[in-house]
Amino acid sequence: MSVYTAIHLHTDLSNQSMVEVVNNYKQYIDKAVDMGMHSIAFTEHGNVLSHYNKKMYAEKNGLKYLHGCEIYVTMTLEEKVRDNFHMVLLARNFEGFKELNKMVSTAFNRKGNSYYYSPRISWEDIKNTSDNIIISTACLGGVIWQLHKNRTGSANSQVMLAEVVQWMTENKHRVFLEVQPHYHVEQIQYNKMLLNISERTGIRLVAGSDTHALNPEYDKARKVLQKAKRIKFTDEDSFDLSFHSYDRMVEMFKRQSIFTEAQIHEALQNTNVIADMVEPWEIDYSKKYPKLYDNPEEVFQKKISEGIVKRGIDKLPNHEKIVYAERIQHELEVYKANEAINYMLLEDDVKSYARSKGVRYGFGRGSVSGSIIAYLMEITHMNSIDRKLNFARFMSKERISLADIDTDFPPSQRPIVQDYLLNHPKLHCAKIITYNKIELLGAIRDVGRGLDMSLNEVDDIAKGIEESEQYYRDKYPELFYYVDLIQGTIVSIGAHACGIAVSPIPLDENMGLITVIDNKTKEPVTLTQINMKEIDAQNFVKLDILGLDTVETISNTVDLAGLKWEDILPENIDTEDEKVWNSVIDDNIGIFQWESDFAHQIYKDLFSNETIAKIKAVHPKFSYMDLFSLGNAILRPAGASYRDSVVQGEFYDNGHEALNKFLAPTLGRLAYQEQIIDFLVQFCGYSGGEADLVRRGIGKKDKALLDTLIPEIKARFISSMIKRYQTRNVVAEQISEPFIQVILDASNYGFSINHSDAYSAMGYVMAWLRYYYPLEFITANLNVNIGKQDKTTKLVEFAKSKGIALNGIKFRYSRSGYMFDKDTNSIYQGIEPIKYLNSAMADGLYELRDREYESFIDLLIDIKDGTRTVDLASLTEEEVTADDWDVYATGEEPPTITVHHVDFGNAKSIGYKEFLLQDLSKEELKELNKLEKHGGVRYVGTPVAINSRQMQILIALNFFSEFGGNRKLLKIFEFFEKTYSPKHKLKTKRERYTKTLQFEQDTIDESLSLVEQCTSELEFLGHIETINAEMPANILIMTEVLKHKTYTRAKAYQFSTGETREFKMGSRIYAQVPFEERDVIQIVNADVKPKNKKINGHWQPSPTEKEVWLKEITFIRKGVDSSGE
């Protein structure tokens, strides 16, 4: 059977610029194998995305991987000309791989002219490629046909075409003319032209299909998706872009009636010639630790010594110093063995920079908390010796692997650290790419548009699919036929939220780089062209710069409370403060990892007086922090089997005093992975590294491996029990069986104490700050959780329980975020989260907080005009005769003109309000006009950057309530806007000021109606805050309406309680009273019914959950009527 090599093929990774493909690389490789192919090339549009995965999957399936790209060529980078001609480049070897990657990376440079609509490579750069690059002329968009047709209208197109052909002729040992089998008039003309060039120059022809689809079904699916995305290519129906067999390619070429059969087969065989030209290369799996210092080991030891002093280890008693010294020496040897010293210095460099910029970070994350050296270097804040954490879980001589440390930073400050890495002069760094795929709901909407279905109908399907998927699949088979084909398609790329690749070797050559525009900053962001797993697999270092709200809350609370960061670190805070621990029993709000109702119940049981008493009776040296960490472990699904026993304080007897003592901190349970390591070390004689390898081996559940490991563990355990604890053989045998089973279970699901302890420490600090600094803690937490209504509501309730008042936005008290007032023990909401408002405006208004105002008009002038004082200069007059007047030319005597001199040197400064109110005579006004006319008036002050709409929002939300009701203030503001302008002359301003003051005095003080107020709050705050206890409980305002085919689901705000109610109603009831958001309704009758839930794959009434169904309702009002009543 004859086979060819697909040398021009696109997957959905070509969609990063425009959606064209719905198939992934695995589908093509699988089909290539089925067709008996030996090699396959991937030539995405302008990129080499996921090249590692493609290579690995191809080679796993017996195919040679050809590294390629369909690039965009520009004839010049000097001008911004949108030529962007196509050309296929293939890497001949590893040097070609790096050369191609670098060219593609350079093409994405958006700071020069390389990127113009598409990533472009100049013709000059093509000419400078080495013999390590193989070239094919690509499709009708290629340089030869486009210059021939002169699509750019260039006067030099034929000269350039001749130059291109001449260069290709000179490089015909690696250049091929690509003919394609599509039955399209231009393709046929182009193929004839290429045949002529080939016969004239000797450049070989090669067959390509420009594959964009696996088969005709997927080709139709991609066109449906393109139609949905409004992407249209002229005459595309004339192109069959499916993945064809050899025989099908022959048939298609024959239909064109251009080539002889021998020429067709030669062009197809030349694809295999290209594949044979490519030399396979091996992936470099060496550890790629960046190197920041010429003498890393010396620097490392110096930093450890500095840490010993800074952490106060040098002041400990000698016998404790020895413990630290031995541990440090052991870890140092392990770091050397793992060649990880450079990595630790990298971590130190990042953390040192963060501290220098005032950026705090979490106490620890993952297994690194087990390293005492990491603690001394302030990479973590967990003292692993004090807390008995396990280093071998992080690193060992026996398990040589790439070090990996993740860090939690405040989300608002994370960019500071990311930018430092991305611009580091000694490192090659880039953010890590992620792929955005079409999920089920998106696929339904896209296919619906592509099939010209009614948008309302598609919307109903999307909203109802979760509850009635099979119903909709049966009703709309064509829709779901295509949905299943396109779901999972990559349609765009983005930056990983926290991952940054950090390398000692250039990323543009070894990974490839690509740029996208950041949605927020509108600036280009550079990404790797391989994803996180591909980077891990090749042992490149990646740093996860994570954002954690808890760290932000702790950091902000510390600042608000006037504390130092060191004050709340684990070694400096009293972790056995019973008042703090007991406070969490009352309320779990803000306690890291314990905020769910389920977690709170576990905590209340675990820390109850009864449980604590039981634990103390058996374990007198019991620690609250140990118990808290254990609680964090049993919250996980893995802890379900012993959770109930632990929360009751019941110890598990392991059959021997030594084992019970060993597991006393976890009530006799093997709760942590590190405990398995410690057990294997203490009771079986393994080294720490060996023990971790055994633990990992057990976790894999490989039967052959278990058959070796389990007898070995058992024999070592029995021997140790006999020798060390004088246990009889038969007893040791009896103990070993159940305990080894516990190990087997724990290896599969055990939690990490290294991670749990660090996170538990942060949870405790949250509780400590909440207990001793509630005002500051709640303020910080509210600011961190802006926009999270459920969390905000709970924080407000907690504040009330502590006697802290939460006030709405208010002039003089509110800034951009929440602010607390210690004198009144209250918190004021911030302005920035409000719709259409911003922090600059909030800060400008806060600047006015200490000024005294006798009227709202005075405040408005301060805000809109900004004038504080008026400086009046001295004005003198001088008569001047023109010196250069030519009397003989004009026949007239030179004129005398009056020149006014303005002198601000001794200006008279007057308060603006005082000036506007003072009584001036007509003569004084005349002088003032003259002074203003000649620039002798200077206004001192700055207006607040706020527009009319923003002012109206603030007024409606009662921000300026000290000046009267909001309806009154809205009327005054409207009149002021029409009457007074900062651009008016002083005389006019004086008149208008008096007029507006009079209007304010004459305006009746009144507020918006209840519904108007609630509507304003809903629109601008996103929720309603006003409560009217006198309103009947069955009158509500609609806040959310979701209409389905057979029912409507809605949420409504209850005026009388301030609570949001949810309910459903059948379509018939809704049709009678078709309410929308902001309508006010009265519920006349309702039922409570079991909620439908999917149980064991079937929808059925829930035995526990209920929901309200309305039976009868009436309208009270539709929205807000024109009268505002």
Closest-CA residue to 546 (of 428, 443, 648, 418): 418
Could you tell me if 47 and 143 lie in one domain?
yes
- Residue 1121 is predicted with a pLDDT of 43
Q: Token pair 């130059």 is at which residue?
A: 163
Residue 2 lies in a domain: no
Residue 155 lies in a domain: yes
Question: Read out DSSP for 192-235?
Answer: HHHHHHHHHH-PEEEE---B-BSSHHHHHHHHHHHHHTT---TT
Could you tell me if 932 and 822 lie in one domain?
yes
- Residue 1123 is predicted with a pLDDT of 35
CA 340/CA 290 separation, integer angstroms: 10
- Residue 1122 is predicted with a pLDDT of 33
CA distances from 332 to 300, 327, 776 (A): 9, 8, 42
Could you tell me if 211 and 122 lie in one domain?
yes
Q: Which residues of the chain have pLDDT under 70?
A: 746-750, 880-893, 898-899, 901, 939, 1094-1097, 1119-1125
Could you tell me the two tokens for 954? 């603030």
C-beta separation of 121 from 106 below 8 A: yes
- Residue 216 is predicted with a pLDDT of 95
Closest-CA residue to 597 (of 635, 553, 624, 565): 635
- Residue 1096 is predicted with a pLDDT of 67
CA 243/CA 87 separation, integer angstroms: 20
Residue 307 lies in a domain: no
| Amino acid at position 446, single letter | D
Could you tell me if 1034 and 995 lie in one domain?
no
CATH at residue 223: 3.20.20.140
Could you tell me if 202 and 251 lie in one domain?
yes
C-beta separation of 194 from 137 below 8 A: yes
Residue 821 lies in a domain: yes
Residue 375 lies in a domain: no
C-beta separation of 599 from 588 below 8 A: yes
CATH at residue 1037: 2.40.50
Could you tell me if 87 and 193 lie in one domain?
yes
Residue 453 lies in a domain: yes
C-beta separation of 1043 from 1053 below 8 A: no
Could you tell me if 768 and 822 lie in one domain?
no
Could you tell me if 616 and 670 lie in one domain?
yes
C-beta separation of 874 from 838 below 8 A: no
Closest-CA residue to 1055 (of 1080, 1085, 1020): 1080
**Residue where a domain terminates, one of 487, 507, 527:** 487
DSSP state of 150: T
- Residue 1005 is predicted with a pLDDT of 97
Residue 215 lies in a domain: yes
Q: Token pair 């007991």 is at which residue?
A: 582
Could you tell me if 22 and 139 lie in one domain?
yes
Residue 604 lies in a domain: yes
**Residue where a domain terminates, one of 277, 297, 325:** 277
Could you tell me the two tokens for 1087? 């039922």
CA 837/CA 946 separation, integer angstroms: 9
Beta-carbon contacts of residue 469 (< 8 Å; ≥ 6 apart) = none
CA atoms within 13 A of residue 162's CA, in its CB half-sphere:
3
Could you tell me if 958 and 895 lie in one domain?
yes
Burial of 163 (0-12, 13-18, 19+ CB in 10 A): middle
Number of residues that make up the chain: 1125
Question: Read out DSSP for 117-147?
Answer: SEEEEEHHHHHT--TTEEEE--STTBHHHHH
Closest-CA residue to 785 (of 776, 774, 775, 793): 793
pTM for the whole structure: 0.85
Closest-CA residue to 203 (of 226, 172, 227, 157): 172
Report the domain count for the chain: 5
Q: Token pair 């020149």 is at which residue?
A: 899
Could you tell me if 722 and 644 lie in one domain?
yes
| Bridge pairing between strands 118-122 and 115-116 | antiparallel
C-beta separation of 842 from 957 below 8 A: no
**Residue where a domain terminates, one of 470, 487, 504:** 487
CA 847/CA 841 separation, integer angstroms: 10
Could you tell me if 888 and 766 lie in one domain?
no
Q: Which domain holds residue 760?
A: 550-772
